[in-house]
Amino acid sequence: MQTAAAREAVLAKAKDIATEAADGQAVPVAKVLSPLKQAGEPPKERKVADQLLKAGKDGTVHVRRKGRRIQIEFDGMLDDDELRAAVDQFLAVRKESAL
């Protein structure tokens, strides 16, 4: 089991990938999800990330900025509304104020 510090490092890496993307930029799905599916995540979150990686091997995600909130949207990869809602919640991140 990973330590809390290791888990935070994994989440920070995924957050950096999302926050570096410009509004509306398409980002390869694996680039966002790979850090999030590492062992430090709870089993349910790992399962969601694994399912998305399988479903969207060639897919992309689109980063949408809404103030300080960053919403990551999946480009036509999912039909399951419940899974999409879980993933949206899982991947919603807050951008740290750089100023």
89 inside domain: yes
- What's the structural domain count of the chain? 1
99 inside domain: no
Residue span of the structural domain in which 79 resides:
4-94
85 inside domain: yes
41 inside domain: yes
pLDDT per position as a tens digit, 71-98: 555 554 444 554 555 556 555 543 333 3
Per DSSP, the residues of the chain read ---HHHHHHHHHHHHHHHHHSPTT-EEEHHHHHHHHTSTTS-HHHHHHHHHHHHHTTT-EEEEEEETTEEEEEESS----HHHHHHHHHHH-EEPPP--
pLDDT per position as a tens digit, 44-65: 655 666 665 555 444 555 556 6
- Asked if pLDDT for residue 12 goes beyond 60, the answer is yes
17 inside domain: yes
32 inside domain: yes
pTM for this model (two decimals):
0.30
12 inside domain: yes
28 inside domain: yes
Mean pLDDT confidence for 13-20: 61
